[in-house]
């Protein structure tokens, strides 16, 4: 019997709810997945449980729904995975494709981290502790990704975009990652 956290040959996670994003493209030829990037997002900022993140990644966010949305409605961004505070796992982009999560980024001298990474967004911000259920999903997700792809490191968005990004933020407990 396959593991509940299995990644299928097309790069989709068995337990994730698919919410496909149009914001992806092909990875460069022969590019291995070597990095996992942990992010944090909440839309509107500081509010959890709404549909803003899904709408952002689907290009359906309505600028008039919240004052903050006016400034982000035209963005074309995505991530491979999103873990809600209740532990629900969503997948927007196949792991085999390049999600648009890292932006301008560098890791160990290599630019364009989207080319060789998988992006995992956690519903959160710089000011609230992450929920236990998020770590309970994040750890086996990372483990399953490391079993399928030659991942060598797990980093924060702040590590690959210092000075530009702060997520996953000071409330993310790196000690709770069992597979990093």
Rounded Cα gap, residues 37 and 95, in angstroms:
13
Instruction: Give the chain's radius of gyration (CA, Å).
Output: 15
Set 34, 121, 147, 153: catalytic member:
121
Residue 143 is encoded by which pair of tokens?
């483990």
**Cβ 119 vs Cβ 83: under 8 Å:** no
Strand partners, 26: 97
Helices (H), the chain: 52-58, 132-148, 157-160
Residue 80's nearest CA partner among 38, 108, 31 is: 38
Q: Is 34 a catalytic residue?
A: no
Rounded Cα gap, residues 66 and 12, in angstroms:
32
Residue 41's nearest CA partner among 77, 95, 3 is: 77
Rounded Cα gap, residues 77 and 91, in angstroms:
14
Would you name the residues annotated as active-site residues?
121
């Amino acid at each position: 019997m396959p593991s509940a956290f299995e990644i299928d040959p097309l790069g989709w996670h068995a337990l994730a709810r698919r919410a496909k994003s149009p914001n992806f493209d092909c990875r460069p030829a022969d590019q291995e997945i070597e990095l996992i990037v942990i992010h944090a997002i909440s839309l509107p900022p500081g509010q959890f449980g709404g549909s803003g993140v899904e709408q952002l990644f689907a290009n359906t966010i309505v600028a008039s729904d919240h004052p903050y949305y006016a400034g982000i409605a035209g963005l074309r961004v995505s991530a491979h995975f999103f873990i809600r505070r209740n532990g629900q796992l969503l997948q927007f982009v196949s792991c085999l494709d390049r999600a648009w999560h890292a932006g301008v980024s560098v890791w160990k001298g290599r630019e364009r981290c989207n080319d060789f990474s998988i992006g995992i967004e956690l519903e959160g911000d710089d000011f609230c502790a992450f929920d236990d259920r998020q770590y309970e999903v994040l750890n086996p997700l990372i483990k399953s990704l490391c079993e399928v792809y030659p991942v060598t490191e797990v980093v924060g968005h702040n590590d690959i975009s210092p000075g530009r990004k702060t997520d996953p933020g000071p409330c993310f407990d790196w000690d709770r990652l069992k597979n990093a």
